Amino acid sequence: MTEIIPAIIPKDFKDLREKMFLVLGMVPLAQIDVMDGNFTPKASWPYNAGEDSDFLSIKNEEKPFPFNNKIDFEVDLMVRNPESLWFDWITAGAKRIIFHLESTNDIGSLIKDFRHRSVPKDSFFYVELGIAIDIATDNENLAPLVGDIDFVQFMGIKKIGFQGEPFSDEVLPKIENFRKSFPKITISVDGGVSLISAPKLVLAGTDRLVSGSAILGSESIRETIGIFKNL
């Protein structure tokens, strides 16, 4: 069954809590889009607030991530050179970390460091590692990485960092070709995922659908998630 993941771009800590609350009990995990205002045009919490006190308290394990005993979260690190940031999010409790292939000059070293510092796969505290790839980036760049990651996240839009951007059909052959080459790896898609584009994505070979505005902007979040799950 295709996994449905609501995507949240938090304006601040209060906004994060409010949006996570909206999907409690409907999905096991939400995606937190983290933007630094460098790799993406705009910054999101906590990098739009200087040294945010709430995030400092979370990463210092002085207080838990919102609803940490009710819903898990993955972090999409849309940041330039995430080498110095990713471990903070593991400390905060992330179950999955996503690096963007285009965000660093040495993705191989970044993955190696992640594997060196994270716990073994058979551990309860294991954190999945995913690599996101833009539409314009050739799939061949993913091939050397597949053996060291848990999943790939294809971006379904050309302009990342904004919710509500139009879906691009150009991603479909990228997914289909990648699925043929690597039939066992998990494929996620983020960006432009709606009730219209989702069936095409599932047909192309997608395992996880990440959707922001189509879910959080709908009149009935529960009903919309239910429709997504039944595709």
Domains of the chain (ranges; CATH) run 3-229 (3.20.20.70)
Give the tens place of pLDDT for each residue, 11-27: 999 999 999 999 999 99
* Tokens linked to 173: 């052959």
Query: First and final CA of the chain: distance in angstroms?
Result: 9
Per cent of the chain over pLDDT 90 is 91
Assess whether the previous peptide bond of 41 is cis (omega < 30° from 0): no
Give the tens place of pLDDT for each residue, 166-188: 999 999 999 999 999 999 999 99
Q: What are phi and psi of 227, to 5 degrees?
A: -65, -45
Run of H or E including 214:
helix 213-216
pLDDT score of 134: 97
Tell the burial category of 3 from Cβ atoms under 10 Å away from its Cβ (0-12, 13-18, 19+): middle
CA 72 to chain centre: 12
Q: Which is nearest to 162 in space by CA: 55, 46, 35, 50? A: 35
- Give the position of tokens 């432009």: 192
A 10 A CB-CB count for 190 gives 25
Run of H or E including 151:
strand 151-155
Query: To 10 degrees, the CA torsion angle through 101, 154, 151, 209?
Result: 140
What global pTM score does this model have? 0.96
Give the tens place of pLDDT for each residue, 96-126: 999 999 999 999 999 999 999 988 899 989 9
Identify each DSSP E strand in 22-142 by its residue range. 29-35, 72-78, 96-100, 128-133
pLDDT of 162 higher than 90:
no
CA 28 to CA 3: how far, in whole Å? 9
Give the tens place of pLDDT for each residue, 44-87: 999 997 778 999 999 999 999 999 999 999 999 999 999 989 99
Strands 29-35, 3-8: parallel, antiparallel or unpaired by DSSP?
Answer: parallel
